[in-house]
Structure 1
């Protein structure tokens, strides 16, 4: 496969520096902005695959000559890449019921590596994508890398509280969300306070900032948007701290 990366973006461009896509002989993953820019990059990447080239560079002005009116200029680097995608944040979805499965589907096309976790083999069997069957889901939170997203949508309120408390004991998770209601959040706040845990970072109900609709697919869509907003903020804050 060929990895295509935007290494410089000047003026008005469809994607920023750092955007990427993967090109194989018969498929693509990700996007550098679509349109003629992307078609040109895909064609060049497939030329590289056919010719055995290891690396190439493209300077593309986004003007009328290629049928795009952005007016900016993009530099692309293309290189052969091992058969995996660039490092992406992980998302741990606890609970493989209707909402959990819908959320896993909603996150699938996004730049996240999502895993659906449950202790019920039957529910996981209904899911597509990566799953994990475990009787100790809280261990996954303890072992998660910094920057991991945690979404809690299990069938058991007591388990929800246990997982949320485990996640809030850490300060390096950009998003900790739990399905519920204002009443459930109040109950968890009392549970957390009794254990010396600050409940403020918990997002509960998930997706409620966009809508209170209770259909699983819409909860999933709004939660996916919420997760990406938090990840963007977390990434910006981390970059600022490291600079």
Structure 2
């Protein structure tokens, strides 16, 4: 999710309180990476995911239960996925459950504004007797006040709240283009969708898509963010060639995919080579597009295949890391917490 604090603000305004669940640390095999987040409301509704399955069910029940009974302290829970939850991953996951109420709205909305304006990095201090972590924006002058009690071990993490969706520039709003936009809608991509036709775009489209109607689409190649994945599938082969030439002329666009056959690829390579495009740039051309082994030409099938390929490319270009949660006081066992929640005695 790229709008954690905006979503949390909405929940707190409507229901009076909400919980932010964060994967603090993983050891061994786990369903999600450190830093994965989920927002839970008192009624058990949620957005985001910390991995699904029994782990996520337990996290939702724990967060919703603490919200319902009015708990005033966050908790950090450590799950051995096999022994505790019967999951086959075999690792351990440490999850923090932070609690927010209406009096926190000022701070929540401040962070939502920073998140919406391009994201931010903060130092988060998890102090056991507090409802939620104390966050100090990094880059500001001054140190965070040391408000923990003497002798209390505090977990400090560097956290990033930013739009981590990978940039995609898609040229063409035909049948396959429309199918691809729908395939990318739930995936971690931010799509700029370009077409020059006046009636090219549908009336409704996913939230992660920005449509751009351009009389000269090739000019937009130069405006694409560095690292963008470029996909070309317009209604015109000459335009496809022009866009491909412009994209390969840049050395910071790692993926240039063009819909078409092996014959189209051979013709494009010949013409691009004649126009002065070097061999190293030509090596970045992907045509046909999509993962190997899927031959169905139906637009939704092509879209699914291309979406899978883009996931592979973007995954190879990024890496995730997390900070350990060793030494942070654990608030009882999972079973003890659930028993207290059922009796309404956990505060």
TM-score bucket (shorter structure): 0.7 to 0.9
State how far apart, in whole Å, the 1-side matches of 2:217 and 2:73 are.
Answer: 42
Q: 1:167 — aligned with what?
A: 247
Tell me which structure has the larger Cα radius of gyration. Answer: 2
Distance 1:127 1:188, change over 3 A: farther
Deviations 1:189-229 (A, max 9, x none): 12211222132211101115232321101110111111111
Structural mapping, 1:79-94, within 5 Å = 82=112, 86-94=163-171
Distance 1:46 1:92, change over 3 A: farther
> How many angstroms does 1:55 deviate by?
7.2
Given the two structures, how large is their TM-score scaled by the length of structure 2?
0.59
The question of whether the paired residues in 2 share the 8 Å contact of 1:104 and 1:115 is answered with no
State how far apart, in whole Å, the 2-side matches of 1:53 and 1:154 are.
Answer: 56
The question of whether the paired residues in 2 share the 8 Å contact of 1:11 and 1:71 is answered with yes
SS of alignment partner, residue 227 of structure 1: helix
The question of whether the paired residues in 1 share the 8 Å contact of 2:254 and 2:284 is answered with no
State how far apart, in whole Å, the 2-side matches of 1:199 and 1:214 are.
Answer: 25
Q: Which moved more, 1:55-64 or 1:32-41?
A: 55-64
Q: Which moved more, 1:42-51 or 1:180-189?
A: 42-51
The question of whether the paired residues in 2 share the 8 Å contact of 1:95 and 1:155 is answered with yes
Are 2:264 and 1:184 aligned? yes
State how far apart, in whole Å, the 1-side matches of 2:58 and 2:286 are.
Answer: 42
The question of whether the paired residues in 2 share the 8 Å contact of 1:62 and 1:73 is answered with yes
The question of whether the paired residues in 2 share the 8 Å contact of 1:121 and 1:133 is answered with yes
Q: 1:118 aligns with which of 188, 195, 204?
A: 195
Q: 1:14 aligns with which of 23, 31, 34?
A: 31
Are 2:286 and 1:203 aligned? yes
Q: 1:226 — aligned with what?
A: 309
> How many angstroms does 1:56 deviate by?
6.0
State how far apart, in whole Å, the 1-side matches of 2:314 and 2:165 are.
Answer: 11
SS of alignment partner, residue 147 of structure 1: coil
> How many angstroms does 1:44 deviate by?
5.0
Are 2:109 and 1:32 aligned? no
Are 2:180 and 1:103 aligned? yes
Tell me, which stretches of 5 or more residues in structure 2 are unaligned? 1-7, 9-18, 99-107, 117-161, 322-347
> How many angstroms does 1:4 deviate by?
4.2
After superposition, the CA RMSD in angstroms is: 3.1
SS of alignment partner, residue 285 of structure 2: coil
Q: 1:63 — aligned with what?
A: 82
Tell me, which stretches of 5 or more residues in structure 1 are unaligned? none
Q: 2:218 aligns with which of 110, 128, 138?
A: 138
Q: Which moved more, 1:3-12 or 1:161-170?
A: 3-12
Q: 2:60 aligns with which of 36, 42, 48?
A: 42
